Amino acid sequence: MRRTTFFIFCLFFLTSLHGQNLLETVKSHPVLAWGGSDVVVVNDSSFLVGVAAVEVGTKKMSALRRVGMIKAQKEVVTFVNGADITSSEQMSTQETVIDTNGRKTIIVKDEYVEQIREDSEGFVRQMQPLGFWYEEDRSVFYYAIYKHLTR
């Protein structure tokens, strides 16, 4: 029993260390550090990696991760075979003027909605989360996914 537990611990440790090396390589990659997709070689292993750049705004972590995953999958699909991705963006501004005893207050509300639809199948859906990081000013969230190709 101890041997099995030790083996599982070692396997988990090596996998997480391997993943950490890959994440650090991706973060310093001249293209992937800002989003996109490419094949990366770390320790004689090849990985297909997709990175999404998501504007933070007022999004919560769950939304950032969900949008990041979809955008990263889009990057990989486009890299592999130029898939058909449907994307739309909509920005609306609402301005309200409130007059209180001759004193006017203007309230401006901006809303930005981005919708992405992709119908990828197969290996792209099986790609695993690699990690995430932020721009220095925390205005952009980067989310990376990967798939091990060769050993």
Give 32-71 pLDDT, tens digit per residue.
888 888 888 888 788 888 999 888 888 888 889 888 888 8
- Helical H segments across the chain, by residue range: 2-28, 61-81
DSSP reduced 3-state for 134 = strand
**Confidence bin at 142 (pLDDT 50/70/90):** very high
Distance CA 121, CA 107 (A): 45
Has residue 106 been placed in a domain? no
Whether pTM > 0.75 for this model: the answer is no
Instruction: Centre a 10 Å sphere on the Cβ of residue 113 and count the other Cβ atoms it contains.
Output: 9
Q: Which of 132, 131, 128, 122 is nearest to 147 (CA)?
A: 128
Has residue 109 been placed in a domain? no
Has residue 111 been placed in a domain? no
Has residue 132 been placed in a domain? yes
Has residue 51 been placed in a domain? yes
Phi, psi of 56 (to 5 degrees): -70, -55
Number of domains, the chain = 1
- CA 117 to chain CA centroid, Å, is 15
Range of the domain at 28: 2-86+121-150
Residue 113's beta-bridge partner residues? Answer: 90
pLDDT, residue 150, reads 64
* Tens digits of residue pLDDT in 111-134: 877 776 655 555 677 788 888 999
Has residue 26 been placed in a domain? yes
Has residue 9 been placed in a domain? yes
